[in-house]
Structures are given as C-alpha cells and as structure tokens.
Structure 1
Amino acid sequence: MQSKSWWIFLNFFVGLFNFAFAGDPFVYYDWTISYITASPLGVKQQVIAINGHFPGPILEATTNWNVVVNVKNDLDEPVLLTWNGIQHRKNSWQDGVLGTNCPIPAGWNWTYEFQVKDQIGSFFYFPSTNFQRAAGGYGGIIINNRDVIPVPFGTPDGDITLAIGDWYAKSHKDLRKDVENGVDLGSPDGILFNGLGPYRYDSTIVSDGITYQVINVEPGKTYRFRVHNVGISTSLNFRIQNHNLLLVETEGSYTVQQNYTNMDIHVGQSFSFLVTMDQTGSNDYYIVATPRFVNSKKASGVAILHYSNSQGPPSGPLPDLPDDSDPSFSMNQARSIRMNVTAGAARPNPQGSFKYGEITVTDVYLLQNRPPELINGKRRTTLNGISFFTPSTPLKLAQQYNILGIYKLDFPNKPMNRPPVVDTSVINGTYKGFIEIILQNNDTTVQSYHLDGYAFFVAGMDYGVWTENSRSVYNKWDGVARSTTQVFPGAWTAILVYLDNAGLWNLRAQNLDSWYLGQEVYLSVVNPEVSEKTELPLPENAIYCGVLSSLQKDQAQRVRFSGAPPVSMLITTVFIAFIVAFVGPLMS
C-alpha cells in the first residue's frame, strides 16, 4: 500500500506541474510491437500485438495536446506506424509512411512526437509497411474536445471502440507474396470484432469454441460507438439488432445527426454513433459486420450486445443486410452524410465558417486507377498510368538534404495516353492553393482513398465517367470533411482540399493490395518562405537510410525525444528528482 500511495502522489505532482508550466499538455505512451499467438478464428496463428495486446491500446488525447509515443520494434522486420486521419500540422516527419520516414529496424526503438492541433474525433493507427496491417498492429485513437468547446450532443454514458475488419488465415508474409505473384486476396476467412471472431449464431457456418466480443451495457443509457474498418480489402455493413445508429461524427467532423439502421463502412473509414439502449433487454442482441460487394459465403462478424438485465442469448436471424444488387443504396447513403455546419469542433467557430464552395480552385487533378496489370513483367497497380516506386531514401529526407534523382515533381494532372510505367513521380502542390482531386475508379471493386495531413471535403460522387459537367452535382455547402473516402467501381468521387499544411503527404489506396502494388502518390506542399511557423525542422532522432545511411548513429547514441525537451518536461524532471531524493524515503 505504501508503494501504491507513493506512485499516486508522484503522478499527481507530475500532472500538476505539466498543467502549470506547459502551453499544451503532453501525454506519453511506451509501446512494444511484437508477435503473439492468437486464435481469432479458432485456429492458432501469429498476429502483431502492441504491449502484448491485439488490437493495441487506445491512444487518447485532447485537442492541441502533444503526443509522445516511444515504439520498440520486436518484430523480425522493419516497421512504421501511421496515424490514420491525424493531420500532423507542420510535421510530416511524424507521418509514419515510407515516403517520409525510414522504417524502424528490428530491435530498435523510435519516438514519435506530434501535436493533435485543431482536431477532435475518432481515428486509428496501424503499421504501414510490409503488408503488416493484415496481421494486426492497429488500435483506436480518440481526440476529445477541450472543455471550453461545446459538443453538439449530450455526454454519453459510455465510450466503446470497435475495430472491425476482414481477416485471413494466412500470415501477412504469405499474403504479400501472393499479391506480388498475381494471386488475388479472395474472400476473407472471417470478420473480426476487436481481434475476436464471430459469435456462433449459425452452427453450420461458425465453428465451436471461438472467443467473441461481448459489449456490456445498462438499459436506458446511451453509448458512443466509435467504429473503425481496420481491414485490408473488404467494405463492411455495420448494424445492431433492433437498435438505431445515430451518426454524430466521422473522422474529425461532427455530422448532421441522422438515424441509420445500418451503415456501410469502407476500408480505412471511422464513424461515431450514439446508440440508446431502448429495448426491453429480455435477451442479448447481435452486433454485426457483414462483407459488402463480394461473393463471400464466410461468416459475418458478430459480437454480442449484453444488457445487464438480459435473460438469455440473442434470438432470431441476423438483422437484414441491404440488397447488394442495388448499387445506388450505398452511394445514396454516403451522399446523405453531411457536415453539421452550425457546430464548432476543435475551435468555437462553426464548422461551416470555411465556405469551401466560394473558394477558387487553383489546381485540378483527375486520378484514374485501373485493375492490376503487368509492368516490366510484374503485377502492379497505377494512378494515371504510374505505379509508385518507393525508393530506399525517403522523399522527405531527400528533400531536406537537396538530393537529386530520388523523385520528380512531374505527376500528370490527368491520365496519360501511354503505356503504364513504374516511377517516383510526385504532385507539386501549391502552398495555400485549393486543389480539386477527382478519383475515377476503373477497377471492378470498391476502392478507398486516404490523404495524410488533411481533412478534405467530399464534394460529390456518381457513377459513370467524370466530366466538367459533373461539377453541377457537387455539394458546395455541407459536404463532410474527412480523410478517407470510397470510390465505387465504374464511378468517381471528387474531393476539395485547402493546401495549408506544408509537408510531403501520402495519397493512397486504403485497400492494402492496391496500395502495396503501387497505387499511391505523394503531394509536396512547400512554403516558399521557409519558416518553422509553417513546417517543423528535421527531428533530432531521425533514422537515416538509403543514400543517407552513413549519417545514422548507433541505437545507443540516438536521443529518445525529437527536438529540445519542453520547458515543462525539464521542470517536471527536476521536481521528480527532488521528490525521489527527499520525499520518497519519508513515504516508504
């Protein structure tokens, strides 16, 4: 008990001094990435865990807080973590993708340090290299509002994170070999809820002995469900038996509050729903995630919603799935998601105060994908006929050291009438320009696209080929701002982005097979007036690789935190030393 009292006392004063002396608070995490053995579908396999947990811990902070995550890599191959939807204002050095960071070698550690500047909402992190997301390594991110900013709904009685996603029995190493050799991923072997397999709702489909997720709730109370599609290739329809889903937020934007009986959540997307426990609770209820737009006979992902007064297991069939033969349903549902323009979010001003429909577009890029094709004898995917080649030297490091020949600022703004090529071609963005990007999906499957460093406005989507006349159907007032959008097969989606965040940013397919085979591009946004006010300098703990490998220090010589430690940290350290030296012995 004396030891416990000591740590309570110590943590109290650490928190007090951080509060008293810091401009914005710091939150610290210490993570080890390693393999563990798990049986999500009833058969033992190797998965990627963080601190021994699959999924990993939830990273939680508040608007404008500084986040420090020390990552130790105990895998047998290099790793990077990327923070899906975190904008890293002025700091693409912390983005965690191969275009900006050298990967963390096996046995090494690296410390991410970034500020969640002017953000709120629900996001997730995952490993961005070597097809590792197929083995796990992901977890939720929650960014809470500051107390001075009102939230446009009452405080929920609980907060529940659900990481849903497709899962394969093969290892991530075997899957990436298959993809390289032209073998399609095929239908998933199952759908997981927080790393667990399906409840046995049908004994002919679901094997016995699989551990499943149970969500415990109290009747009459309202809970916030943060649902992330962390899978690698499959759109999922999410629903809760006999309960409405009140959509309130998606990827950092508060939405117009609308009730849905189900929601299509595409790869890489995150949604927040308020769910009220308004049923009798005489029995449990199904929580379901079912593959969409694929011919899959595998089981849906099924978790259990358990009322405290429940008298037994769920009954009846799973709640109905929308008709896959009606392609308009999912698109109309996506179009119905609107931004709540009267609510504040990270700042007190309304979300609609940025009138994106009145801003003059400075650059237009029409990005067209195609199904995988052979380029120089290898299966590749492309945007505008270019399959991105990732050099051994990250583009951001090459930019920092003025190394020529690593990449070219010549990515075409429309599809080129030429054979496809493998190249390291980058979009030359205009700092504080307003760019229109049209994503044209010529593939046969739903593709999701994500842009690091920004939230973009989803202005429009429709079937067919985009033309200049397509702008007539754009939503120029309350299109939702988010970081991941779906593009249906044979359709287009248009997004608008204000390029006010200097850095080098990744635009990619979230579908892991498409991304791995080259369907990505980087967007370079440079302020011609060099200033640390718009872009932070190279961190002191940077890892060097490629042509800059000679600059790398030994692991023992590297500093743990990037940049100079904040004054608050120094004061806190001195104070802790005082407590340890003088007060600790008195309390022991």
Structure 2
Amino acid sequence: MALSKFLGLFLIHIALLSSSCFAADPFVFYDFEVSYITASPLGVPQQVIAINNKFPGPTINSTTNNNVVINVRNKLDESLLLHWSGIQQRRSSWQDGLPGTNCPIPPKWNWTYQFQVKDQIGSFFYFPSLHFQRAAGGFGGFIINNRDIIPIPFGSPDGDITILIGDWYTRNHTALRKALDAGKDLGMPDGVLINGKGPYQYNDTLVPDGIDYETIDVHPGKTYRLRVHNVGISTSLNFRIQSHNLLLAETEGSYTVQQNYTSLDIHVGQSYSFLLTTDQNASSDYYIVASARFVNESQWKRVTGVAILRYSNSKGKAAGPLPDPPQDEYDKTFSMNQARSIRWNVSASGARPNPQGSFRYGSINVTEIFVLKNKPPVTIDGKRRTTLSGISFVNPATPIRLADQFKVKGVYKLDFPSRPLTGPPKMETSVINGTFRGFMEVILQNNDTKVQTYHLSGYAFFVVGMDYGEWSENSRGTYNKWDGIARSTTQVYPGAWTAILISLDNVGVWNLRTENLDSWYLGQETYIRVVNPEVTNKTELPMPDNVLYCGALSKRQKYAKKSRFYVNGYLRKMAVKTNNG
C-alpha cells in the first residue's frame, strides 16, 4: 500500500473512532472468528461454537475507560449477535448485541463492535444472544482491570484465573431450540462443564473414562483471583473448592465487603471474583466442584462439574468423595440468606456505577415503580410461551433503537404495564417507557417453581431486598438502603421477590430479561427505553457509521455495504497488526 494511501486510511480510521469514543483513552483490539468445531466435552462428539477455534472463547482483557474494538467474522450458518453481559455501554446501546437494539450479523459477514468501558471495573462475560446459540458455546470472559493510579481493596493477586461453569446438553442448540418450539421442556442437562470440559473421574460409576477435564495449576503460599461465571442455560450451581475458603471480593463491577465462603451459589448469568489463598498442604490435588442446586440430588448426581486444583508440589491425584454441597434440604432460606450477606464495599476506591452521586441510593426519591411477575409457561395462540407481567415479548423485525432513529412507526408499543395484567396473557412487542434521570424501583416477583435470574443491560442496579411470599408496600421496611450490592444480574427465588433500584442515567434501549435461556427464548423479557428529550450527543453517541439494517430498513443496507466494508476491513487489519505487535 502506498504511504499516502495508508496515511489517508489511518486518518479516516482515527476520525471514525474519535467520533464515537474518547480519543485520549487507549484502544484494545480483538479479532473474533466465530465458527463451528467438533468437540466432546462430555465424551460425545458434538457441534460447538468456537471463537478463533477455541471453546470457550478467549478472555477479553481491558482497563477502565479503554476503547474496545472487536471485529467479528460470522462463519456460522445463521445470523449472529454477541452480547457483552454486564458491560454498561455508556451512551451507546448501538453496541449491545441484542435483537431489540441491533440487526444481526448475517452469515459470512463481519462487523466491528466499538465501545468504551467507561467508569467500570470487574468481571463479566460475553456470549451469542440469538437462536439459542449460547447453549452451544461462543462465550468467554471479559475483564476490566482498574487503572494503576486507583488502589484496589486487596493486595495484588499472584495470578488471575477465569472459570466458566454451566449446565450442558449433548444435543446441539438447534435441536434444543426445536424442542422448545414444539412445546417441550428441555429436561435434565447431561452434565456441567468447567471451562468447556467435562468432569474429572472422581467416581467410576457416574463419570465414564476418557473425558478431558480442567486442571488449574497454582503455587503454594500464593493468592489468586478467580473470576467465576455461570454461562449455562438454566441451572443454579454451587461452586466450591475442596478444603479452601473463597474470599468474595467483587461481583459484576462492584467490590464487595470481603467475606469467606466455603461455597457460594452462582445463578445463571452471574459473575463473582474470589481471592483464593493456596495455604493447604500438597499431599494431593483438590476438587473444584460446580453442582446443581434446588434439584432432586439423587437424580442429578451425574450432573456435576469437577475440575482439579493442582499445587506445583502436589504429591498425588485427588481421590475420595467430593466436598459436600450445602445441607439445606429443610431450610429454604439458606441460599437467600447467603445472597443477602453479599454487601457493597462503599469505602473502596475505583470506578463506581453512576459516579455522579446516585451510589447514595437510599436518599434518592423513587419516581417510577414497576412490579414484574413471571409465572410457569402458558399457551398463547397455540404456542407454549413464557411471560413477564402477562406479556410474552416478541422481538421486532426492525430493532427498537433503529426504528426510533428513522421514525419507523408500529414497530413496538410503549405501553408495558406497571403492574401485572389481570386479563389473559398476550404476545406483544411492549416496552417500558423509562424517564431519563428518573429513579426506578422494580419488583421482580417469581411465581414459577424454579429460580429465575434477571439481567438488565446498560446499568448496574442496586439489590435492596428479597424475601419469600408476595411483595407488598410494607416490604419496603426490609430494604437495605445503605450497602446493597450494585450489579447487573440478580436471582429471584421461586415463590419469592427481589427488589432493585435503577438510576436511569444511561440513554438508550436496554434489555430486561431472565437469564434462564429457555424462559428467555420463549418470551420472558422486555426493554426499557430511556430517551433524553433534549437532542444532544452528550448523553448518547451517534449511530455508528457501520450500522447494520434489517426489517423495514433492509433496503438501506445496500447503500451502507461499501462503508461497512472499508470501516471493518481496515479495523480488522489494525486489530491483527496491533495484537501481533
């Protein structure tokens, strides 16, 4: 390439990036090729989704305020979106990777995500959000480190380890999807994976020979940061390491009051950071266990993930029974009390959600209240569907944010009810109308028989209360108004409620959903639309130059294709060049 042409493209590249990011902050580049590979995590060959031929995908490593550029090449046989779970996408829902906000990346296309991890630290993960694809893989960790000038509330760890746990089926995601479309339950999963691998053979009867398992190597007398994410489909998992304490330090971007746990329940979609001190003797290796919770344990014994913690001076393999799970068969409050014990470290330095002051949430007046109730699946128009407050969400052909940008009418209704419907359930594209700079109280009421985990894109919300029974106005008397944890994903126990508070300071269209993948697929979600009545790019970044078009705006894509090619093509070259030094 001639020098003048290269310089010209370079200047265009910088201009494009500067238009939507803070140019003074560093960039990190990644190149993702998403494709199918054959793997046998449970001893059965199956099709899984890999990134750069890896399952799970690579961990994204960034620092507070970095501009993250990820070029995605879709080599699947169906459309694709990648969602950055818990990354707040400040001022830019254009990059959120969900069907209500973005058009999908067609097969054989590439598209570049570009966003800033503004005012965030912590442990997160990414995954494909369309077509039940997360059940086949395509997920990986996402780390946002603190800047060097900001102290962290613990000593620098001797290592940083990402652990992805989750239930797993040997049927591929298309077969699971067809089962749900046919009105069937998925049934019990075939196992639990740890970092994409099956269980260590701790029991010859329950675990067949020849399964590849995960081994985490450590040195004695050190402290490691373990970032543990439940990337599964619908199973709450108890995480524990034999003979070791887990010192909880952070969850989904908030430092916690540090407490030791012998085990912790991690629900679908949740992320935690633990500090692990390798202070045990090395007479043998130790079990790392992720086992199903709130199930009939006698039937679910084979659905247990087991990895190995190996000291560098270990004298032998792990043997004997696994460490016991929580013994709470007759105490349904055990897990809830554990969840209530997770508190925010309000004195820690570092990036905070809503740093302008709304972290003092207990003194802010609530302006909007929504009670959102889910129930067991129902039949609507002959289809088995899940609902939220009586509405089963239908994703529009034209994403909501794109419809707003081009004033396409009839795409959605801004009429989601503040209280559950009393009439028959219905299927609609019904959206919550959020007030910019309002302070919203949301009650998540779970009238189903299994744990539901709820996630809100674009925000860290404050978990202020949870209890069994039906929420009422009097329930506010139990709220934690000082150090309730700020996070993006919270559990709601069956027959119980969880209350969250949200400062609506992030303009955009943001997904509120159950993380239970089967319930999400069948309609248990909505979006919160937050619009600044004053048109200004200070509260929302402009639509990106490489935006994809679909639905009612499909014809616009032929005019955008050339621009998309040059922008993405160049960014892709830059990514390869940067990563290779």
TM-score (norm 1): 0.91
Q: State whether residues 345 and 351 of structure 1, in contact with CA within 8 Å, keep that contact through their aligned partners in structure 2.
A: no
Provide the rounded CA distance (Å) in 2 between the counterparts of 1:181 and 1:328: 36
Residue 462 (structure 2) aligns with: 457
Provide the rounded CA distance (Å) in 2 between the counterparts of 1:396 and 1:562: 22
Q: State whether residues 510 and 527 of structure 2, in contact with CA within 8 Å, keep that contact through their aligned partners in structure 1.
A: yes
Letter in 2 for 1:504: V
Q: State whether residues 113 and 562 of structure 1, in contact with CA within 8 Å, keep that contact through their aligned partners in structure 2.
A: no
Work out whether 1:404 is the aligned partner of 2:409: yes
Residue 58 (structure 1) aligns with: 59
Letter in 2 for 1:77: E
Residue 321 (structure 1) aligns with: 325
Residue 526 (structure 1) aligns with: 531
Quote the offset at 1:138 in angstroms: 0.1
Letter in 2 for 1:297: K
Letter in 2 for 1:320: D
Residue 281 (structure 2) aligns with: 280
Structure 2 gaps of 5+ residues are 1-16
Quote the offset at 1:61 in angstroms: 0.5
Q: State whether residues 240 and 288 of structure 1, in contact with CA within 8 Å, keep that contact through their aligned partners in structure 2.
A: yes
Work out whether 1:488 is the aligned partner of 2:493: yes
Assess, with a 3 A threshold, how the Cα gap between structure 1 residues 44 and 457 changes in structure 2: closer, same or farther: same
Residue 159 (structure 1) aligns with: 160
Work out whether 1:345 is the aligned partner of 2:350: yes
Provide the rounded CA distance (Å) in 2 between the counterparts of 1:62 and 1:452: 20
Secondary structure, aligned partner of 1:552: helix
Quote the offset at 1:351 in angstroms: 11
Letter in 2 for 1:302: V
Quote the offset at 1:352 in angstroms: 8.8
Provide the rounded CA distance (Å) in 2 between the counterparts of 1:190 and 1:475: 37
Residue 310 (structure 1) aligns with: 314
| Alignment RMSD | 2.0
Letter in 2 for 1:279: Q
Residue 169 (structure 1) aligns with: 170
Letter in 1 for 2:165: I
Quote the offset at 1:344 in angstroms: 1.6
Provide the rounded CA distance (Å) in 1 between the counterparts of 2:432 and 2:357: 28
Q: State whether residues 344 and 351 of structure 1, in contact with CA within 8 Å, keep that contact through their aligned partners in structure 2.
A: no
Assess, with a 3 A threshold, how the Cα gap between structure 1 residues 87 and 336 changes in structure 2: closer, same or farther: same
Assess, with a 3 A threshold, how the Cα gap between structure 1 residues 265 and 562 changes in structure 2: closer, same or farther: farther
Q: State whether residues 353 and 359 of structure 2, in contact with CA within 8 Å, keep that contact through their aligned partners in structure 1.
A: no
Quote the offset at 1:187 in angstroms: 1.4
Aligned pair count reads: 549
Q: State whether residues 57 and 140 of structure 2, in contact with CA within 8 Å, keep that contact through their aligned partners in structure 1.
A: yes
Quote the offset at 1:560 in angstroms: 5.4
Provide the rounded CA distance (Å) in 1 between the counterparts of 2:159 and 2:253: 19
Provide the rounded CA distance (Å) in 1 between the counterparts of 2:150 and 2:144: 13
Q: Which of 418, 431, 454 is the equivalent residue of 1:426?
A: 431
Letter in 2 for 1:292: R
CA displacement, residues 416-457 of structure 1 (integer Å, 9 cap, x when unaligned)? 110000001100000000000000001000000000000000
Q: State whether residues 451 and 505 of structure 1, in contact with CA within 8 Å, keep that contact through their aligned partners in structure 2.
A: yes
Residue 8 (structure 2) aligns with: none
CA displacement, residues 354-407 of structure 1 (integer Å, 9 cap, x when unaligned)? 210000000000000011110000000111100001111111110111111000
Work out whether 1:509 is the aligned partner of 2:514: yes
Letter in 2 for 1:165: G
Quote the offset at 1:554 in angstroms: 7.1
The percentage of aligned residue pairs carrying the same residue is 69
Structure 1 gaps of 5+ residues are 1-17, 577-588
Assess, with a 3 A threshold, how the Cα gap between structure 1 residues 192 and 561 changes in structure 2: closer, same or farther: farther
Alignment of 1:436-447 (within 5 A): 436-447=441-452
Q: State whether residues 231 and 268 of structure 1, in contact with CA within 8 Å, keep that contact through their aligned partners in structure 2.
A: yes
Provide the rounded CA distance (Å) in 2 between the counterparts of 1:350 and 1:410: 31
Residue 380 (structure 2) aligns with: 375
Provide the rounded CA distance (Å) in 1 between the counterparts of 2:511 and 2:328: 32
Q: State whether residues 450 and 483 of structure 1, in contact with CA within 8 Å, keep that contact through their aligned partners in structure 2.
A: yes
CA displacement, residues 493-518 of structure 1 (integer Å, 9 cap, x when unaligned)? 00000000000000001000000000
- The range that moved more, 156-165 or 298-307, is 298-307
CA displacement, residues 90-118 of structure 1 (integer Å, 9 cap, x when unaligned)? 00000000000011000001100000000
Assess, with a 3 A threshold, how the Cα gap between structure 1 residues 347 and 478 changes in structure 2: closer, same or farther: closer
CA displacement, residues 533-559 of structure 1 (integer Å, 9 cap, x when unaligned)? 100111111111101000002786133
Quote the offset at 1:22 in angstroms: 4.6
Q: Which of 377, 389, 394 is the equivalent residue of 1:389?
A: 394
Provide the rounded CA distance (Å) in 2 between the counterparts of 1:265 and 1:348: 22
Provide the rounded CA distance (Å) in 2 between the counterparts of 1:475 and 1:246: 22
Residue 364 (structure 1) aligns with: 369
Provide the rounded CA distance (Å) in 2 between the counterparts of 1:450 and 1:350: 21
Residue 139 (structure 2) aligns with: 138
Secondary structure, aligned partner of 1:558: helix
Provide the rounded CA distance (Å) in 2 between the counterparts of 1:460 and 1:560: 49
Residue 193 (structure 1) aligns with: 194
Quote the offset at 1:179 in angstroms: 1.1
Provide the rounded CA distance (Å) in 2 between the counterparts of 1:231 and 1:562: 34
Provide the rounded CA distance (Å) in 2 between the counterparts of 1:22 and 1:406: 35
Alignment of 1:237-256 (within 5 A): 237-256=238-257
CA displacement, residues 27-53 of structure 1 (integer Å, 9 cap, x when unaligned)? 000110000000000110000000000
TM-score (norm 2): 0.92
Provide the rounded CA distance (Å) in 1 between the counterparts of 2:154 and 2:355: 15
- The range that moved more, 428-437 or 316-325, is 316-325
Q: State whether residues 539 and 562 of structure 1, in contact with CA within 8 Å, keep that contact through their aligned partners in structure 2.
A: no
Work out whether 1:68 is the aligned partner of 2:73: no
Q: State whether residues 64 and 119 of structure 1, in contact with CA within 8 Å, keep that contact through their aligned partners in structure 2.
A: yes
